[in-house]
Structure 1
Amino acid sequence: MNDDNPFLNHAELIDYAAVRIEHLQPAIEQVIADNRAALHAIIADQRELPTWDDLVLAVDALDARLNNTFYNIAPLSYRPGEWQTVAYQCWDLVQAYFAEKLQNVELLSLYERLAGSAHGMNLDWQSKAALQRTITSSRLSGAHLSNVQSERVQALEQRISMLQDTFVENVNRSSDDWSLHVMDEQRLLGVPELDKAAMAASATDRNLNGWLISLEEAPYLAVIERAQDRDLREQVYRAYLTRGASPDPDFDNAGVLQALAKAKQEKARLLGFDSFAQYNLQLKGGASPERVLAFLKDLARQARPGLERERQHLQNAAQQQGLAPFQPWDVAYMRKQMDHTPLRLSEDDVRACFSLDTVVKALVDLAHRLFGLVLTKVPAVATWDPGVRLFEVVQDHALLGYLYIDAIGREGKPSDGAWTFYIWNRHIDAEGKYHQSAAAAFTNVAPGQGTAPPLLSHLDLCKLFHEFGHCLHHLMVRTSNYHLGDIQKLGPGGFEIASKLLERWCWSAQYLADISAHYQSGKPLTVEAMQTFLDQLQAQERAKLAVDLAKALFDLDLHGNPDDGRSVLQRVEDSFVEAGAWPLADFERPLHAFDHLVAGYDAGYFGYLWADVYAFDLFSRFEQEGLLNRQTGRELQDELFAPGAARPIQTGVEAFLKRPSSALPFLRWYGLIAG
């Protein structure tokens, strides 16, 4: 063992100042080698009489060590160059090890013998739940298959991995190959000043004058929603809506998605399921495909009349402004133009009042006031980047673990999106030692420009609150079992519930006004002005809902029956029509860059909507009892967060609400029903 490798000899937190690139892969290889040897010894020792401590907890400890090692390495994949390559190689090694372990027939047999033994029958309910989850995961990974079938599953998994990489490469290639260099500032009339400053900084980075528009989310939205230059909007819209598309079939993601779906379908059928959707929903602890489809179709049915009314309203307004014929690149612009509310704030006005420091302070305060969590900065330990903030998390004088916030975009970090890493899971091992949890939230707030610090748009706020919700959920789990502490095992609808709930505070004018402070003067926004701004944004959320519905319907359709003869393009069109989304132009390929399908949300994208319906209902209790009510917050933790993956999420929701859950708050907020 290399005593100098920080990934092999850390007691708690990694000191990233001591990390060198040559530490990464040797650490993973060493842990995997140790795990294989230990697993072999555990199986030999447990053949006669498998027990909870010496089988389940012993193997869990091996899983924990490898996961902890890798997820301490994972943030280094956002350093440019060779760091990313090596980190991905580590990921491949970890995935291969876990696939091998899950398909270990002898290990599965020991788990099943334990579950059926007198010892297994007398375990407490959480231990029984954890053991059953472990057995199910092994069977769903093919541990029960014949050698021939197992070899075919492994080949399919390799093909799926290769196709997923190709999908991402096609999106990145088309995005990286396109940018628009603007020299005439008149073309940017209407674009918020902070977005223009970011475009100017992008140009400077390329040794150019003027402004450079890329296909990242922030500049795209700034242009498509605000630019008065219709030709500019068209150029950017066409480029953004054709990411991942190409006349060359080798670089077009329609074929990649179709091939992916067929490979997953074959794998699912080898494992005994009718479809990949059915297989994946069982694997992730979700509902049946039929129940999910009924949920989506019902939501689409209720949304469609309002969307059709809005479409006609926008077309009439566009005609009055001379935008004829009305084009796809006019839609978002017209939605913004439709608002004539007094006291309207601009995007620049709002962003100026939400510096990153202000927002992080508000998150720390929210965690304390709602849940009694005390987040204290840990300055003495170096993180993977100087811009990352590290907090120690304490509740009731007990250390729960640690929280990293990596909020600012930089070279090497994915340019769009937001995500969370679950670095350590809380658990108690066979010796009774308590292991803390740790999580890291990632977003892409634009760096500060000039004398201005990093400033957050409302979308940035929602993303950061969303990921903070994931982290809080993870940190507030109270189960003692390693795998029940993995909130991702709650399934798509349960896994997203805390993050969707935290977003609701970003739609409270009172709350946002209270935490706002202009980065120069310190002056807060008024509740009235904030409310008019949110009203304007809320009017546009229905269109986003329609697109999310279309994506969820497409996802379930593609992974439910990929062999029915319909093309990917036909499925996309069908899903957009069913969702009541804006009709697609013939050139649009909106789901060719739908990267959730290769990032673990395949046959699971519906979870965002499912969790959102729950979140609105949960938030209604805070609206009644106080947005910062400590007692309500602690009840939420006790009923919803503390059990981890030990019980279905709906059980926790209804225990907290003290009634069956309801979709009415969600439907009312979106204007889908009166009241």
Structure 2
Amino acid sequence: MNNPLLDFSDLPLFDRVLPEHVGPAMDDLLAKAETALAQVTASDFPATWSGIARVLDVATENLGRAWGVVGHLNSVADTPELRAAYNAALPRVTEFWTRLGADERLYAKYKAIDIASLNAEQRQAHKNAIRNFVLSGAELTGAAKERFAQIQERQAELSQKFSENSLDATDAFAYYATDDEVAGIPKDVLQAARAQAEAEGKAGYRLSLKMPSYLPVMQFAESSALREKLYKAYTTRASDQAPAEFSQFDNSAVMREILALRQEESRLLGYQNFGEVSVVAKMAQSPEEVVAFLRDLARRARPYAEKDIADLRTFAAEHLNQTDPQAWDYAYIGEKLKEARYAFSEQEVKQYFTAPKVLAGLFRIVETLFEVQIREDSAPVWKPGVAFYRIERDGQLVGQFYLDQPARTGKRGGAWMDDVRTRWLRPDTGKLQTPIAHLVCNFADSVGGKPALLTHDDVTTLFHEFGHGLHHMLTQVNEHDVSGISGVEWDAVELPSQFMENFCWEWEVLKQMTAHVDTGEPLPRALFEKMLAAKNFQSGMQTLRQVEFSLFDMLLHTSHNPDEDLMGLLNEVRREVAVISAPAYSRTAHTFSHIFSGGYAAGYYSYKWAEVLSADAYAAFEETAAANGETGEASGKSTVSVETGRKYRQAILEAGGSRPAMESFKAFRGREPSLDALLRHQGMA
């Protein structure tokens, strides 16, 4: 019991976990899970939901929680020692879950459960379990079953390798820019870059491919040559086009093998391709329906995207003396055009969004909208600066969450929500286990004693991830497998996250969560009006970019031959959808972590699909505001309605995965979703 990974008495002991704890903990927990599996699959063990849960689910939940701690640390505090320990345990853990999901004795036991004895939540969980057994190969026999297990184990290794290559390729690059090269780059970015160079004993400014460094260079650096240098490094990461010294991070072979294994897995399960497998557990009925949805969206967005690109080219020619802009110039041109058209810059806006003030504003709106209270709490954490909070309603604990905001070396890029544990009325103790979430971002850190500054995009990201967290934490479902985000169709899981983003565009919300870093003044109304006017700036281009990723992903998993170079398909999709030509060397697919290591394979379309749901859900709040004589966004009056918030919370957040997402949506809106609100919100109506 000296092993912190085996202590389930309270919160994870993140500050005490060492690489040497991983192997022994997995030995212990896998052995206990094996014993539990043998017990419940014995012929004399009764086929009851609660009986199986009391023995097997308790053992597998402990395994899942401990492995979740290891996986989380691997993502946010990567070290060579931890990576080695993680990779050593990964095959055994994967093998167990694969075997569990395909165990025909357990499958038979579940099929023998009397469904009439189950409550509504348990019936939904049981239905999902039967479906998942089939998708996990439980109906396969002999060599096919053996091969299926090998595929799962190899895919887990390859996904981890893809992730490591992407992280290492990003971390490996640094460019030390001189004073002559950095004109236009924001002061706070340069301060951080100078400090990083000095820490390494180098001259100049250390520019990296981490977002808080890379993006401001692309938006603001006056030197096209500097932008090209970073753009090329960024778009060739982990690929065959990267410089020779980074060739060990090339993901080409990893991707090819992952795609071939997914294709083989699909055939073993009786499907034509992985796209068909993917949609079984989603709202969409078929890959064809998804492709039709994406192409329809592309058709509607194209006129707006073509106007966006024409505007950029005209502006570049007339004001920047650029008659032939390249891919690395467009973010810069866009920023200059936005400044000229709306008379403000992202840099100006950023000065008002200090991280502590934004967080306080986010908490205030959540507390109002969902009738909860958020309080600081204490827990062991993995790095200084990681915060921990609790959510209460009427003095009762509802859920807790960790918040890890700054970017750093050894931390995977992007932003995400993950579960630490799920709400569950525990069958072993009869006590309610409350949910806990991780909320992870990659924002700029504080510099020189001043609070960290967030871009408005960062603010939106924070709201987005918090929406996922609320879905996980506010659930009132007591059945582990359909509680919170568990059991929610993958193409509906982005609804609560994208829904929260809407409030980042409301004056009443923003004015309370802004304070200028130097003067403490709130965001001026005039600046907000400019931001609002610019809200749908390039929304046509941005929509087509998301459609490009989504269509590429679905076609990659349906019509593409894994033996062929996927660049042919990507270029074909770009020709069909994109309005900006990418250079021939661009290899963005080689760091497309969502589909190669993040669970979104043949599912990246979920973001656009769920945007339709979230825009329509937010429209309910607009309608409430209009009925009360207000008009929401345009009037500057907030659409925050406690009554509508309560209805949304009860129909969608609290229901979790306990019923199909369409049922939850209809319970809230009284009808099926419509595309109209999304097009209107994005200025494409």
Distance in 2 (alpha carbons) for counterparts of 1:284 and 1:62: 28
Counterpart position of 1:98: 97
Secondary structure of the corresponding residue to residue 584 of structure 1:
coil
Cα pair 2:169 2:249 within 8 Å, conserved: no
% identical equivalent positions: 28
State which drifts further: 7-16 or 229-238: 7-16
1:42-191 counterparts in 2 under 5 A?
42-44=40-42, 46-47=44-45, 49-77=46-74, 78-81=76-79, 82-114=81-113, 119-184=114-179, 186-191=180-185
Counterpart position of 2:666: 654
Q: TM-score, normalised by structure 2?
A: 0.91
Counterpart position of 2:397: 399
Cα pair 2:175 2:206 within 8 Å, conserved: yes
**Post-superposition offset of 1:343:** 7.5
CA offsets per residue over residues 529-586 of structure 1, 9 Å max, x none? 1231343353034322221110100000000122298631121112223324422222
Cα pair 1:409 1:445 within 8 Å, conserved: yes
Secondary structure of the corresponding residue to residue 448 of structure 2:
coil
Q: TM-score, normalised by structure 1?
A: 0.93
Cα pair 2:512 2:522 within 8 Å, conserved: yes
Which structure 2 segments of 5+ residues have no match? 626-637
Counterpart position of 2:367: 368
Letter paired with 1:51: T
1:334-483 counterparts in 2 under 5 A?
334-340=333-339, 344-379=343-378, 381-414=379-412, 416-430=413-427, 432-483=430-481
Cα pair 1:243 1:592 within 8 Å, conserved: yes
Counterpart position of 1:242: 236
Whether 1:525 and 2:523 are equivalent positions in the alignment is yes
Cα gap change, 1:38/1:256 in structure 2, threshold over 3 Å: closer, same or farther? closer
Secondary structure of the corresponding residue to residue 538 of structure 1:
coil
Secondary structure of the corresponding residue to residue 490 of structure 2:
helix
Secondary structure of the corresponding residue to residue 495 of structure 1:
coil
Cα gap change, 1:411/1:337 in structure 2, threshold over 3 Å: closer, same or farther? closer
**Post-superposition offset of 1:441:** 0.2
**Post-superposition offset of 1:19:** 4.1
Counterpart position of 2:634: none
CA offsets per residue over residues 401-432 of structure 1, 9 Å max, x none? 21111112233222x20111201111113353
CA offsets per residue over residues 598-623 of structure 1, 9 Å max, x none? 21111111111111121111112223
Aligned length, in residue pairs: 663
Counterpart position of 1:319: 317
Letter paired with 2:416: W
Counterpart position of 1:543: 541
Cα pair 1:64 1:482 within 8 Å, conserved: no
Secondary structure of the corresponding residue to residue 467 of structure 2:
helix
Cα gap change, 1:463/1:514 in structure 2, threshold over 3 Å: closer, same or farther? same
Cα pair 2:338 2:345 within 8 Å, conserved: no
Secondary structure of the corresponding residue to residue 644 of structure 1:
coil
CA offsets per residue over residues 493-546 of structure 1, 9 Å max, x none? 211111111112223344212211123432101222123134335303432222
1:619-658 counterparts in 2 under 5 A?
619-624=618-623, 625=625, 626-658=638-670
Distance in 1 (alpha carbons) for counterparts of 2:87 and 2:534: 42
Distance in 2 (alpha carbons) for counterparts of 1:360 and 1:90: 37
Secondary structure of the corresponding residue to residue 534 of structure 2:
helix
Cα gap change, 1:46/1:633 in structure 2, threshold over 3 Å: closer, same or farther? farther
Secondary structure of the corresponding residue to residue 375 of structure 2:
strand
Letter paired with 1:53: S
Secondary structure of the corresponding residue to residue 33 of structure 1:
helix
Distance in 2 (alpha carbons) for counterparts of 1:548 and 1:579: 10
Cα gap change, 1:284/1:202 in structure 2, threshold over 3 Å: closer, same or farther? farther
Counterpart position of 2:677: 665
**Post-superposition offset of 1:46:** 4.8
CA offsets per residue over residues 323-356 of structure 1, 9 Å max, x none? 1322222222211121356874433332222222
Distance in 2 (alpha carbons) for counterparts of 1:635 and 1:89: 47
Cα pair 1:354 1:455 within 8 Å, conserved: yes
Distance in 2 (alpha carbons) for counterparts of 1:654 and 1:580: 34
Cα gap change, 1:9/1:563 in structure 2, threshold over 3 Å: closer, same or farther? closer
1:557-572 counterparts in 2 under 5 A?
557-563=555-561, 567-572=565-570
Counterpart position of 2:572: 574
Cα gap change, 1:341/1:634 in structure 2, threshold over 3 Å: closer, same or farther? farther
Which structure 1 segments of 5+ residues have no match? none
**Post-superposition offset of 1:471:** 0.8
Cα pair 1:406 1:443 within 8 Å, conserved: yes
**Post-superposition offset of 1:290:** 1.7
Distance in 2 (alpha carbons) for counterparts of 1:195 and 1:541: 27
Distance in 2 (alpha carbons) for counterparts of 1:250 and 1:516: 44
Cα pair 1:488 1:495 within 8 Å, conserved: no
**Post-superposition offset of 1:254:** 4.3
RMSD of Structure 2 on Structure 1 (CA) = 2.3
Counterpart position of 1:508: 506
**Post-superposition offset of 1:141:** 0.8
Cα pair 1:24 1:73 within 8 Å, conserved: yes
**Post-superposition offset of 1:32:** 1.6
